[in-house]
Copies of this chain bind each other. A is one copy, B any other.
Amino acid sequence: MLQGKVLVAQGGGPTAVINQSLAGVVLEGRKFQPCEQIYGARHGVHGIVDEDFIDLTQETSDHLERIAETPCAALGSTRDKPDLAYCQEIFKVLKAHEIGTFFYLGGNDSSDTLRILSEEAQKEGYGLTCVHVPKTIDNDLMINDHTPGYPSAARFVASAFAGINLDNEALEGVYVGVVMGRHAGFLTAAAALCRTFPDDGPHLIYVPERDFDMDQFLGDVKAVYDRLGRCVIAVSEGIHDASGEAMMTKLADTVERDAHGNVQLSGTGALADLLTGAIRDNLGIKRVRGDTFGYLQRSFLGCVSDVDQREAREVGEKAVQYANWRGGSGTVTIHRVGNYATDYQFRPLTDVAGKTKVMDLSMISKSGNDVTQEFLDYGTPLLGSGMLTPARPRANPVAKILGA
């Protein structure tokens, strides 16, 4: 049962729908009498240690609905990954404010924080329920069919590559688009979801699940370019060579690392510039362009999957229902039913905490430079409604008069 005060916070990278989960927790939580108050912590665990709380029981329902439709973490987020000492600080604050249930909206790092925290509470005999509400555009949480945030980011990437393909068709040349994804290629793979015609790009897709080889890459590009006179390529920022070293790390003079020890991959155009340079220098193709999708893909206003919105709301709502009627700490997981519906389960935090799921190799073509039909079947229903299907003029050639 929801007891005492409830705290909700958001961690990790923002998504288009994480505020739907926030609204789900708050609106559902306010329905239960034993729940005294619902606090929101500003900037995740960082705000807890600082006792930087706002009282969400004072928010109007209409305003919560408007916040739900706004992308990015409305409470603020953090990249802090608490160790044991940090978790003990958090715990001290939760006790002082008599927090009975803590909902943390985040990815695998956030669920690991909850795991440590719930273990700490148990050791001290404090009745704290820790509930993880899944979100990550990386789609890399174990057990989950997919994670809230991914479908909208996938819709962005698919829409971007559909447009880029048309642009490249109109003006030709070679285009490289670098997509977020350190270990998991799900988001990059989404580039394939809007292909309509047989010659539509992206013609080549490289994900971190397979080793990247520059010679093989250049050969692939040449083959497509020779066949079509153009080539659109989608690449994960996390692609690495056979030794496991990220292509990005090879480039950076000074490598920036975050609190989790991860090398900073986004927010720089270096990888796209490396790849376009290699194509220009080695294949002698003149018009070679590269873009790094960067932060646009996780926060763009107005690019959202309605499937994702609905599910993000539901995992927030389910988190409260599980905490109230089932009890104990855990994580809400999403499961696919048929084509296409979802169901939810409540699982132990250790099922997802600190673990990373990557693409099943059956979703990647044997050649390592494309996705399979299995991935297309997996990803297509996630994009949601209202996707435009590009049209092109039909072939009605006019006979030449002057030419051969």
Interface residues of A (CB under 8 A from B): 10, 13-14, 39-40, 43, 50-51, 53-56, 58-59, 63, 66-67, 69-79, 92-93, 96-97, 158-160, 162-164, 166-167, 169-171, 175, 194, 266-270, 272-273, 276, 288-296, 298-303, 386-398, 400-403
Contacts and interface: CB of A to CB of B under 8 A. Distances in A.
Given A70-B392, A291-B292, A299 B167 contact: yes
A126 to B, nearest CB: 16
Most buried by B among A71, A296, A403: A296
B159 A300 contact: yes
Given A387-B302, A393-B40, A267 B296 contact: no
B51 A400 contact: yes
A167 B158 CA distance: 21
Given A63-B391, A75-B393, A14 B51 contact: no
A77 B171 contact: yes
A257 to B, nearest CB: 11
A55 B167 CA distance: 22
Contacts of A397: 53-55
A54 to B, nearest CB: 5
A128 to B, nearest CB: 16
Contact of A53 (B51, B55, B167, B398): B398
B387 A66 contact: no
Given A72-B163, A72-B170, A296 B302 contact: no
Nearest to A12: B171
Contact of A291 (B67, B74, B160, B296): B296
A43 to B, nearest CB: 8
Contacts of A56: 393, 396
A371 to B, nearest CB: 19
Contacts of A73: 170
Contact of A166 (B39, B55, B70, B163): B70
A170 B63 CA distance: 19
Given A163-B71, A268-B273, A291-B267, A394 B79 contact: no
5 contacts: A14-B170, A76-B170, A96-B402, A160-B296, A269-B292
A72 B387 CA distance: 16
Given A267-B291, A296-B160, A67 B392 contact: yes
B79 A171 contact: yes
A398 to B, nearest CB: 4
Contact of A301 (B40, B163, B394, B402): B163
Contact of A295 (B66, B289, B299): B289
The 4 closest A-B pairs by CB, nearest first: A269-B269, A267-B289, A163-B299, A291-B294
B76 A169 contact: yes
A266 B50 CA distance: 43
A85 B39 CA distance: 73
Contacts of A194: 301
Contacts of A300: 159-160, 163
A43 B96 CA distance: 69
B292 A392 contact: no
